[in-house]
């Protein structure tokens, strides 16, 4: 039974190694040199390239440990691998992908910090504007209070005009009464 499991594992490893070539080629076609780091990282994530590459390397090592040297598929070779990709090429690609991931993380962090700094600057600007508005409102109230105080000190109370109107009304009414009487 152990031999059967080992053969199954070898067959699965061989299949994954063979299938990796398709993923590898599609991945390299999807990565555009002109693409932004974000788009490249998105492609890496879509293809799950890190995990598949690590699995490919582990499968290659597993096949070699079991005495199978992956070679292009031959006429009689059932456990041979078609279109073998060199382990060094995959490791180089992994190092590039790690660099891209780190670059993307750095860009993302810088972008996040810039957005946060812009938000803080906007809040500060709004607070300064609110403070200026409150100060101008306070200046207006202070001016009104000073005018009222000056008017009060000069003898003009708030009801100054109403008192003068009452006197004027009394005077005109009295004049009307005396005019009717003929005086």
Domain boundaries, the chain: 2-121, 127-181
DSSP 103-155: HHHHHHHHHHHHHHHHHHHHHHHHHHHHHHHHHHHHHHHHHHHHHHHHHHHTT
The per-residue pLDDT for 59 is 80
The per-residue pLDDT for 4 is 47
C-alpha distances in angstroms, 35 versus 46, 59, 127, 156? 15, 31, 41, 79
The per-residue pLDDT for 164 is 52
Cα separation, 138 vs 145, in Å, equals 10
Question: Left (φ > 0), alpha (ψ -120 to 50) or beta: where does 155 sit?
Answer: left
CB distance 56 to 88 below 8 Å: no
**Token representation of residue 152:** 């009060």
Per-residue model confidence as pLDDT tens for the chain (183 residues): 344 446 667 777 777 777 777 777 777 776 666 666 667 777 777 777 777 777 877 887 887 777 766 665 555 444 444 456 666 777 777 777 777 677 777 888 888 999 999 999 999 999 999 888 888 888 888 888 887 887 777 665 555 555 555 555 555 666 566 666 665
The per-residue pLDDT for 167 is 55
The per-residue pLDDT for 2 is 40
- Residue 8: how many CA atoms within 13 Å on its side-chain side? 5
Residue count of the chain: 183
CB distance 43 to 27 below 8 Å: yes
Cα separation, 142 vs 148, in Å, equals 10
Cα separation, 40 vs 34, in Å, equals 10
């Amino acid at each position: 039974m152990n031999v059967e499991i080992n053969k199954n594992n070898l067959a699965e490893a061989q299949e994954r190694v063979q299938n990796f070539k398709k993923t590898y080629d599609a991945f390299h076609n999807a990565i555009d040199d002109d693409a932004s780091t974000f788009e490249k990282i998105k492609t890496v994530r879509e293809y799950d390239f890190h995990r598949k590459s690590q699995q490919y390397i582990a499968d290659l090592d597993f096949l070699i440990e079991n005495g199978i040297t992956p070679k292009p598929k031959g006429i009689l070779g059932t456990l041979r691998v078609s279109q073998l990709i060199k382990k060094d090429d995959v490791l180089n690609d992994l190092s590039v992908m790690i660099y891209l991931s780190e670059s993307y993380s750095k860009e993302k962090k810088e972008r996040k910090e810039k957005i946060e700094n812009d938000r803080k600057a906007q809040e500060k600007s709004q607070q300064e504007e609110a403070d200026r508005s409150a100060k101008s409102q306070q200046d207006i109230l202070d001016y009104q209070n000073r005018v009222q105080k000056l008017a009060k000190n000069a003898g003009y109370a708030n009801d100054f005009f109403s008192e003068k109107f009452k006197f004027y009304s009394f005077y005109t009414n009295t004049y009307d009464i005396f005019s009717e009487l003929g005086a």
